[in-house]
A and B are shown apart, each in its own frame.
Chain A
Amino acid sequence: MQQPNLETTVPNARGYYGEYGGRFVPETLIPALDELIEAFNTALADPAFQQQFANLQATYTGRPTPLTYAGRLTEQLGGAQIYLKREDLAHTGAHKINNALGQALLAVRMGKKRIVAETGAGQHGVATATACALLGLECHVYMGTVDIARQKPNVFRMKLLGAEVVPVESGSKTLKDAINEAIRDWVTNVRTTHYLLGSALGPHPYPFIVREFQSVIGIEARQQMLDQVGRLPDVAVACVGGGSNAIGLFHAFRNDENVDLIGVEAGGLGIESGAHAARFADPALGRPGVLHGTRSFVLQDDDGQIMNTHSVSAGLDYASVGPEHAYLRQLERAFYTFATDDEALEAFQMLSQLEGIIPALESAHAVAEAIKRAPQMPKDSILLINLSGRGDKDLDTVISELGGELDGEA
């Protein structure tokens, strides 16, 4: 195995992580991407920006989020000690706010007062609408109509926060199509508009900027493990949609070679069914390709047309994955597996019942992997789960999936 270090996990000047990444976008957008890199670099070097951001994280987002010992889940599984990094307790209920606030501050620095964003689960849309309300920015969120139907509470939240939710009817009517429309809006209004992309994907510098804004997750979790337990975990698990909560967790542990990093994709109805979003698990459909401005693993047919995906969780239902994950996988620094819809739904209930924590369906995929893995680990080992969000938004979906079962028990 090659040993990655800080150098090799930073993208090169052209935004490449090994052979993945880059900037495959229409020429119209190139100056805006250059401007964004510039704004990000000068912001990072500006103590006033750092101060403002840290202050918002502490007094608005509620950081640091806690590290919780999941005692009853640990006992039930009978293996590794399980800890939860509680991004569900961040303001708006998911890790998405970390990036949304950071990028909204950059937009203000660039003098751009209009924000467009895509959303799948609605968490990034809510986080963006929140940041825009806080900073007085105009906000338009593109969302596929399939996702609008399955994440209704978040649609209502965005509207309450003053955002316009723009329904997207094209293609599979999910996250992929929302990104297409957001990019089309951005190309049209690029002089006045910042595209606040919600995951560690898209053209350079987005995967880099999103990672930097999300890396607070791992930085805190690593320190909390040392403070509360006295050592690092053996395994750190996160779900992977576009890959922002996972890269945010993994980044701080990248040089801790004894910490296994595990990303969990959406297995949907199972890999053989073809109805999934497991880009790394399906060699027939998941191959390197270019979608939404970046070269990474993409679910595609023989002709290079992008496949429609399926997951019970809207936030994982996407045909590509952030380029740094493709790179970490190639380096064997991180490993990727999947959980099916059924496994995620089971994990959703188990965490609710044993710990009093209702996870987002996305995060439930990470919990599902812990349920498989913990029993095979020694009792003195530690498994850390990134609980990327809370599950209130998913109650409609879960009721329709499990309604009968839950009613029967009442």
Chain B
Amino acid sequence: MVKTGLESIAAMFAAAKAQNRAAFLPYYPIGYPTYDDSLDAILAMAEAGVDGFEIGMPFSDPLADGPTIQAATQVALENGITVKRCIEAVRTLRDRGVDQPMLLMGYLNPVLAYGVEAFVRDAKAAGANGLILPDLPPEEAALVGEACAQAGLALIFFLAPTSNAERIALVAERANGFIYLVSVTGVTGARTDLPPDLRDFVARVRAQTDQPLVMGFGISQPEQARMMSEIMDGFIVGSALVRAGGESVSAVRDLAARLRQALD
């Protein structure tokens, strides 16, 4: 039996846990610095042993992103990358042997323009396992959520340091796949220091749910990855890898490998 998207994601966490570590999920946008390079970068990271991917789809107005990802996705748009190309990229990556879970990450409007049902159908057919839309909080997610549930795809929701017990309860109830914890109040971007109250935040969420917890925003260094491995089920690195992608595919491979090795 072929696994559903949700089952693949659950298997990913189980495998990492069996090795006593967190799952490492790089973010990388399709089309940066070119379409071919972005696919090569993702393949190189797959070979370096990362656990899953957030595959970035560009949007003209990425209001949850800091300067690094803004600039990269702007380049992607200038390179003619559309939602359709991003879905094709997932298919190509599967054909080229990537077997880790892939979650498409973007903003709501391009998904609406594509058509929610068509998007979910095509994303699933291409081999995607889930969807991450930072401007879609759970109370607005009925339409997308239903389509994803039918297709067995994960639709990931967020919690932030500002989330109170009520929000944590709501997200915990609707969550599937994992819950994405934003490490800081802010936008994406590599940071040298993570906030001191991080462990408290994780503990507050952990007290209310058994869902896998994945942290993102600001993580860029091997020491941070090691800390993530202690307190989280998974973590996401974006801007630092995108910055490396501006240099070369091998720079991406090297950074991904170092972050991955920090977990052993």
Residues of A near any B CB (own CB < 8 A)? 14, 22-32, 170-171, 176-177, 180, 183-184, 187-191, 287-293, 298, 300, 302-306
Size class of the contact patch on chain B: 35 or more
Interface string of B35-68 (1 = CB under 8 A from A): 0000000000000000000000001111110100
What 3 A-B pairs come out closest when comparing CB atoms?
A: A304-B113, A304-B110, A28-B160
Pairwise interchain contact A27-B185, C-beta atoms closer than 8 A: no
User: What is the bound-complex CA distance between A301 and B59, given in angstroms?
Assistant: 11
Q: Which of B74, B77, B158 contacts A26 (CB 8 A)?
A: B158
Pairwise interchain contact A188-B162, C-beta atoms closer than 8 A: no
Which stretch from B5-13, B122-130, B132-140, B224-232 is at the chain A interface? B132-140
- In the complex, chain B residues whose CB is within 8 Å of the CB of A26: 63-64, 134-135, 137, 158, 160, 182
- In the complex, chain A residues whose CB is within 8 Å of the CB of B60: 171, 305-306
Pairwise interchain contact B109-A290, C-beta atoms closer than 8 A: yes
Q: Which of A171, A191, A298 contacts B109 (CB 8 A)?
A: A298
- In the complex, chain A residues whose CB is within 8 Å of the CB of B164: 31
User: What is the bound-complex CA distance between A303 and B157, given in angstroms?
Assistant: 24
- Contacting A at CB under 8 A, from B50-106, are 59-64, 66, 70, 74, 77, 82-84
- In the complex, chain A residues whose CB is within 8 Å of the CB of B114: 303-304
- In the complex, chain B residues whose CB is within 8 Å of the CB of A183: 63
Question: Can you list 5 A-B pairs, Cβ within 8 angstroms, ordered by A?
Answer: A14-B139, A23-B139, A27-B158, A31-B163, A180-B62
User: What is the bound-complex CA distance between A127 and B13, given in angstroms?
Assistant: 52
Interface string of B151-165 (1 = CB under 8 A from A): 000000111111110
Residue from B82, B134, B185 with most neighbouring chain A CB atoms (10 Å): B185
Task: List the A residue with the shortest CB-CB distance to B171.
Answer: A27
Pairwise interchain contact B159-A27, C-beta atoms closer than 8 A: yes
Q: Contacts A170-B70, A303-B83; is A28 near B162 (CB within 8 Å)?
A: yes
In addition to A27-B182, A190-B185, 10 A-B residue pairs with Cβ atoms within 8 Å of each other are A24-B135, A24-B136, A28-B186, A32-B162, A184-B63, A191-B185, A289-B109, A289-B113, A292-B63, A305-B60
Pairwise interchain contact A27-B167, C-beta atoms closer than 8 A: yes
Pairwise interchain contact B110-A305, C-beta atoms closer than 8 A: yes
Pairwise interchain contact B162-A31, C-beta atoms closer than 8 A: yes
- In the complex, chain A residues whose CB is within 8 Å of the CB of B262: none
Pairwise interchain contact B83-A293, C-beta atoms closer than 8 A: no
Task: List the A residue with the shortest CB-CB distance to B62.
Answer: A180
Pairwise interchain contact A187-B186, C-beta atoms closer than 8 A: yes
- In the complex, chain A residues whose CB is within 8 Å of the CB of B162: 28-32, 190-191
Q: Quick check: is B187 within 8 A (CB to CB) of the other chain?
A: yes
Residues of B near any A CB (own CB < 8 A)? 59-64, 66, 70, 74, 77, 82-84, 108-114, 134-137, 139-140, 157-164, 167, 171, 182, 184-187
User: What is the bound-complex CA distance between A14 and B162, given in angstroms?
Assistant: 20
Q: Contacts A190-B162, A292-B63, A306-B61; is A25 near B187 (CB within 8 Å)?
A: no
Pairwise interchain contact B61-A300, C-beta atoms closer than 8 A: no
Pairwise interchain contact A171-B160, C-beta atoms closer than 8 A: no
Task: List the B residue with the shortest CB-CB distance to A33.
Answer: B137
B65 to chain A, nearest CB (A): 8
B23 to chain A, nearest CB (A): 21
User: What is the bound-complex CA distance between A30 and B60, given in angstroms?
Assistant: 23
A130 to chain B, nearest CB (A): 27
Pairwise interchain contact B64-A304, C-beta atoms closer than 8 A: no
- In the complex, chain B residues whose CB is within 8 Å of the CB of A171: 60-61
User: What is the bound-complex CA distance between A291 and B61, given in angstroms?
Assistant: 8
- In the complex, chain B residues whose CB is within 8 Å of the CB of A25: 135, 137
Task: List the B residue with the shortest CB-CB distance to A293.
Answer: B135
- In the complex, chain B residues whose CB is within 8 Å of the CB of A177: 61
B193 to chain A, nearest CB (A): 15
Pairwise interchain contact B113-A187, C-beta atoms closer than 8 A: no
Task: List the B residue with the shortest CB-CB distance to A190.
Answer: B185
User: What is the bound-complex CA distance between A14 and B109, given in angstroms?
Assistant: 19
Pairwise interchain contact B109-A188, C-beta atoms closer than 8 A: no
Q: Contacts A187-B186, A290-B135; is A304 near B158 (CB within 8 Å)?
A: no
Pairwise interchain contact B111-A304, C-beta atoms closer than 8 A: yes
Pairwise interchain contact A188-B112, C-beta atoms closer than 8 A: no
- In the complex, chain B residues whose CB is within 8 Å of the CB of A32: 162
Q: Contacts A190-B185, A289-B113; is A180 near B137 (CB within 8 Å)?
A: no
- In the complex, chain A residues whose CB is within 8 Å of the CB of B185: 28, 187-191
Task: List the A residue with the shortest CB-CB distance to B159.
Answer: A27
B69 to chain A, nearest CB (A): 12
Task: List the A residue with the shortest CB-CB distance to B141.
Answer: A24
- In the complex, chain B residues whose CB is within 8 Å of the CB of A14: 139
